[in-house]
A = this chain, B = another copy of it.
Amino acid sequence: MPVKLAPPDPASLLPVPGVELGIASAGIKRPGRKDVLVMRIAPDAEVVGVFTQNRFCAAPVTLCREHLHAEGGVRALLVNTGNANAGTGEEGLARARATCAALAGQLGIQPAQVLPFSTGVILEPLPHDRIIAALPAAIADLRADNWAAAAEAIMTTDIVPKAASRKVSLDGVEFVVTGIAKGSGMIHPNMATMLAYVATDAPVSCEALEAILRYAVNRSFNCITVDGDTSTNDSCILIATGVSDNNPPPPVLMDDGDARFAPLRDAVTEVLVELAQAIVRDGEGATKFMTVRVEGGRDEAECRQVAYAIARSPLVKTAFFASDPNLGRILAAVGYAGVDDLDVDRVRLYLGDVLVAEHGGRAAGYREEDGRRVMAESDILVRVELARGDAAATVWTCDFSYDYVKINAEYRT
């Protein structure tokens, strides 16, 4: 499959009863660009989130953490691109609060019922007045079938909008899971420069929804890296409205002991994995999509450690860009990944289906042309067997090209 995906077909994105989306243009970075998204959420929905672990988290992230358990529940999300409102101190918090208050006033809810999100350049003042001025247009645009436009409105250096939908049948009742995400640089786990909003109409308890989000994020957004940089603004929000047309109120909230829990969790995970992989495919300057799979570790942590050492290495990533099977660079990364007692003589390296290295050196049957054949593909599997246990981990990443440098050198111009 090509590295860059086609934009999602709007018809494939299923509306989620209880969620409406409205888009507007505030002219934050460029005039005329759609850069503001409002999501209105039905009363009684459960909303949970995970956020960046960066100590310099942005003002909106601080407010999200504060508002997430607001009285009356979260009723709206407000997203802007073009400015991250990060590294902006007290003034940044005040401006984010002002946008929440303005939206709340117009929707007839409390300011603490609004979660704010910002993405874009760091260390510059948020033009909150322009965002506030754009709110009436965004509210007028609120529609349940606006997911495709919303995916486009939250893009920054993204080339392709990212959205995914699944249907899931729970006890014979059909529900939907639909999500959008943005992000293509400053991408590393815990989390990336990424925003993701996923909603389902299934009725779920807050605790069960938290468990689903943790499970799904650990298998999706926490398995990707573009450049190893962890952003100040990463946020992933999961909404369960419980107002499905198919689910007569009052719905029976499912908890994690419910038979419906696992299928819903898996559907959410599928949506998040699709979004996470789409972010890597749209990685800044990416020309290849790489799956790095490390097997046979003592525990998942050391497998992830080795997988990330490979996936982060600029030398590995430039070799993939060049389609050059300079595979010793992968071995070098395995060697410095920090697994101190690793027996390198037992390690095996596969590129696609080709055994490249074993017994501490090049495999006897390895031929350069086999390596070249796999490297020429745009989707490549790198598989490492550590042969010291039963654990495994997978990380997705992309190559490192001239365009990565160009995009990031010219980001503010």
| A295-343 interface with B by 8 A CB criterion | 312-315, 318-319, 321-322, 324, 326-329, 331-336, 339-340, 342
Partner of A92, one of B332, B361, B405: B361
Query: What residues of B have a CB within 8 angstroms of the CB of A319 in the complex?
Result: 408-409, 411
> Chain A: how many interface residues by the 8 Å CB criterion?
68
Interface residues of A (CB under 8 A from B): 53-57, 84, 86-92, 121-125, 185-186, 188, 227-232, 312-315, 318-319, 321-322, 324, 326-329, 331-336, 339-340, 342, 344-345, 357, 359-362, 400-402, 404-406, 408-413
Q: How far is the CA of A86 from the CA of B345 in the complex (A)?
A: 12
Partner of A359, one of B54, B90, B335, B362: B90
Least CB separation from A285: chain B residue: B405
B315→A408 contact, CB < 8 A: yes
B402→A405 contact, CB < 8 A: yes
Query: What residues of B have a CB within 8 angstroms of the CB of A322 in the complex?
Result: 408-410, 413
- Sorted from nearest, which 7 A-B pairs have the closest CB atoms? A122-B328, A89-B361, A56-B335, A123-B328, A322-B409, A318-B408, A230-B336
Q: How far is the CA of A230 from the CA of B310 in the complex (A)?
A: 12
Q: How far is the CA of A191 from the CA of B372 in the complex (A)?
A: 30
- Sample of 8 more A-B contacts, CB < 8 Å, known A229-B313, A229-B314: A56-B334, A87-B331, A229-B329, A231-B332, A232-B331, A318-B405, A324-B413, A400-B405
Decide yes or no: A56 and B331 within 8 Å by CB, A408-B318, A409-B321, A412-B324 being known contacts.
yes
Residue among A123, A232, A401 with the highest chain B CB neighbour number at 10 A:
A123
Decide yes or no: A315 and B185 within 8 Å by CB, A86-B332, A405-B404 being known contacts.
yes
Q: Nearest Cβ distance between residue A224 and chain B, in whole angstroms?
A: 15
A227→B314 contact, CB < 8 A: yes
